[in-house]
Chains A and B, each alone.
Chain A
Amino acid sequence: MKNHPWKSLQTLVSAIAAVLIVNVVLPAHAQNEVKSTDLTQALKTFLDNMSAAQSSEQAAHSKAAELIKAADAATAQIHDTNLPPQSRFEAHAKVIELKTQAASAQLAAARQNAKLLAAAKSALHDIGHDLGSDAPEDLKGLPLQEDQPKVDVALGNLNLPDDGGIDPETVDALTAARNYYDLACRGAAQSAIGSASLQAVARRLTAWEAKNRRTIVLADAELRRLQLGALSGFSALGNYTLDQAVGPPGGLAQSSVVIGDVPLAPEICANGETPSPWPAKVSLRRALSR
């Protein structure tokens, strides 16, 4: 499948899965024990739905490709004037049937994928919500990380009464708090990266959803064209049958019309002769004057 959004998504998803677990699940676990379970579930739902959508789309595509290949072979028979008209009509009906099956398979898969992608999008939204998309915004007003060493230096110039008299326990507590802050700053930076990856996945998912919508509309239009093709075949077959029953067509002819890539009924010459010079349609005036 060319340019399939899932392929690039798959790489991204697998790459961010670990990042999400470390930066989303673990902080969420720290924040609220219930949330970590919810988030793991959301991550699972997202991956399950994306995988199901991919499988469904690939299966539908393979099936449609096979059916269209078979239809192409049958199309050649429609235009083969050496074949008897009955065979050409049968080939025409077969083409329509095969193409209908192909379009139906793609339409069904696309409709199913619309649900799966919506579920994946919802799960992704939950993950993003738990990640806390407003967190980077909230960091803007905080004292800068790079200013903190300067603040510490300034503490040494406060003219404290007994600068050498800090208890070892206090020193340890201060060191531990500073280490925690450094760790938190690194974690926040990684969360920002994770958040950006999440946004990239969301954009690609949106693109896939749009593609899926187009597939639904295209497959639906294709099915309507095939119905038109079947109708034209039906009318041509009716004429052919009538020709067989009442003799030569008497100047009326059917044209082979193609709407889109769907061949309609083949030209019918009851006796294998050249077609009638009459145009496919005549004006009412001309028809009345005959």
Chain B
Amino acid sequence: MKTNLIIKLAVAITWAALATARSVEPQITAKTVAQDAANEYKSTLDQVIRAAVDAKGKFTLDPNDVATLRGLEYELLGHARLGALKRADLPALIFAEGKPQLVEEIPGRALELRLLKLSVNPWDDGLTNKVFRYSVDNSDRTFTTPVPTNSYPEVGDFEASYAYAMTLIGKREWADAVKHLREAAAVPEGTTGGEWEFQIDITRAWAEAMLGDLAEAKATLTAALAREHRCEVPTRGRFLCAVLGIEDQHLPPEVQAALPNQN
């Protein structure tokens, strides 16, 4: 009688333990594994970005990494087709959506896509329709931000250089854009407040990142932050600063989540 009771108790305890174990164990569903794939894709791309940031010379990428990333893209797209991953949860796909032309563009394009997904345009400098003042030979002059144009600028015409550089950015011709952005920021004696030069330098740093030259981008951005700028550092600038390891810049949580992880 007593033995029976003990056996029954033991069975009951075993069942209870099993039930508890089953309820605690996280359920593996299509959605969780699809999310795992998205996380793996992000961490793989994070490594690529970190490698680009740490690269001393020109950025290169192992073809195996390209194949791995592309394989993960196919997997993620398959998950999305089967409804296991919502479009909003799908990370920005460097090859399927970014379509980089050269291997050097991969890290920059990855960063650009991440910001675009958050509705932050790295190329929006906020200068449109703004009026700037500068001095030449002790006389004050003003100018309004010019609209992009195809006309090749004359030497020393910083306004025309800006207009032409913005057209090159639209065409994604980064090397030429960097050259003309440098000329655009070369205002004699500088603009009052320095916002013009500061924003152009941030754009230039982004263009350099798109070229895969993240060391140069870091130098540009560091110099831009060091010069006078009576304006806030925009999100695009703070994001690039955080990626390149330049001082602590406050970022909204969703933008912070787009940063490449350190590990």
> B84 to chain A: which residues have CB within 8 Å?
30-31
What is the size category of the interface that chain B forms with chain A? Answer: 35 or more
Q: How far is the CA of A142 from the CA of B72 in the complex (A)?
A: 15
Tell yes or no: A200 within 8 A of B by CB. no
Q: Which residue of B lies closest to A141 (CB)?
A: B87
Query: Is B91 an interface position by the 8 A CB rule?
Result: no
Q: Does A1 contact B (CB under 8 A)?
A: no
Residue pair B29, A31 in contact (C-beta under 8 Å): yes
Indicate if B157 sits at the interface (CB-CB under 8 A). Answer: no
Q: Nearest-CB distance from A266 to chain B (Å)?
A: 69
The residues of A that contact B81 with a CB separation of less than 8 Å are 139, 142, 181, 184-185, 187-188
Which chain A residue shows the least CB distance to B105?
A158
Asked if A32 contacts B82 (CB within 8 A), the reply is no
Q: Which of A2-10, A119-127, A165-173 is the interface stretch?
A: A165-173
A170 touching B30 by the CB < 8 A rule? no
Interface pair B70/A174, CB less than 8 Å apart: yes
Instruction: Give chain B residues whose Cβ lies under 8 Å from the Cβ of A139.
Output: 80-81, 87
In this assembly, does B103 line the interface, its C-beta being within 8 Å of a C-beta of chain A?
Answer: yes
Q: If A142-B81, A181-B81 touch, does A162 touch B63 (CB 8 Å cutoff)?
A: yes
Q: Is A27 among interface residues, defined by CB-CB distance under 8 A?
A: yes
Q: Is A261 an interface residue (CB 8 A)?
A: no
* Bound complex: CA A253 to CA B239 (Å): 102
B101 contact set on A, CB distance < 8 A: 154, 157-158
Query: Are A143 and B29 touching (Cβ within 8 A)?
Result: no
Residue in contact with B95 in the complex, picked from A30, A151, A176, A191, CB distance below 8 Å: A151
A: contact size bracket:
35 or more
Query: Chain B, 37-76, contact with A by CB distance < 8 Å: what is the 0/1 string?
Result: 0000000000000000000000011111011101111110
Counting CB contacts under 8 A, is B36 at the interface? no
B124 beta carbon closer than 8 Å to chain A: no
**Distance in angstroms between the alpha carbons of A157 and B102 in the assembled complex:** 7
Give B83-121 as 1s and 0s: 1 = Cβ < 8 Å from A's Cβ atoms.
110110010010111011111001000000000000000
A154 to B73, CA, bound (A): 15
Q: Are A177 and B90 in contact (CB under 8 A)?
A: no
- A142 and B60 alpha carbons, distance in the complex (Å): 29
The answer to the question of A273 belonging to the interface, with a C-beta cut-off of 8 Å to chain B, is no
B100 contacts across to A, CB distance below 8 A: 158
Determine whether B156 belongs to the interface, using a CB cutoff of 8 Å to chain A.
Answer: no
- Bound-state Cα–Cα, A152 to B70, Å: 8
Known: A166-B64, A183-B78, A188-B81. A30 touches B70 (CB 8 A): no
CB neighbours of A278 from chain B (8 A) = none
**Contact status B30-A31, CB under 8 Å:** yes
CB-defined contacts of A167 to chain B, threshold 8 Å: 64
- A155–B29 touching, CB < 8 Å: no
With A and B bound together, what is the CA distance between A213 and B78 in angstroms? Answer: 45
Known: A32-B30, A143-B97, A166-B64. A177 touches B87 (CB 8 A): no
Chain B CB within 8 A of A138 CB = yes
In the complex, B27 has a CB within 8 A of chain A: yes
Tell me if B258 counts as interface (CB < 8 A to partner A).
no
Residues of B within 8 A of A191 (CB): 83
Determine which of B64, B87, B99 lies in contact with A142 in the assembled complex, contact meaning CB atoms within 8 Å: B87
The minimal Cβ–Cβ distance linking A142 to chain B, given in whole angstroms, is: 6
Question: Within the complex, what minimum Cβ distance (angstroms) separates A255 from chain B?
Answer: 70
Q: Are B63 and A173 in contact (CB under 8 A)?
A: no
Q: Which residues of B contact A244 (CB under 8 A)?
A: none
CB of B77 within 8 A of chain A? yes
User: What chain A residues lie within 8 Å of B72 (beta carbons)?
Assistant: 177
- Expressed in whole angstroms, the minimum distance between the Cβ of B197 and any Cβ of chain A is 34
- Which residue of chain B lies nearest to A35 when distances are taken between CB atoms in the complex? B29
Of the candidates B64, B71, B82, B96, the one whose C-beta lies within 8 Å of that of A27 is: B82
A171 to B99, CA, bound (A): 20
Across the interface, which residues of B come within 8 angstroms of A181, CB to CB?
Answer: 74-75, 77-78, 81
**Nearest B residue to A172, CB-CB:** B71
Q: Does B31 contact A (CB under 8 A)?
A: yes
A174–B71 touching, CB < 8 Å: yes
Q: Give me the 5 closest cross-chain CB pairs, A-B, nearest first.
A: A184-B78, A31-B30, A177-B74, A177-B71, A184-B81
Residues of B within 8 A of A (CB): 27, 29-31, 60-64, 66-68, 70-75, 77-84, 86-87, 90, 93, 95-97, 99-103, 106
Residues of A within 8 A of B (CB): 27, 30-33, 132, 135, 138-143, 147-148, 151-152, 154-155, 157-163, 165-167, 170-171, 173-174, 176-178, 180-181, 183-185, 187-188, 191
Known: A32-B27, A148-B77. 4 other contacts (CB 8 A): A138-B80, A155-B66, A177-B74, A181-B81
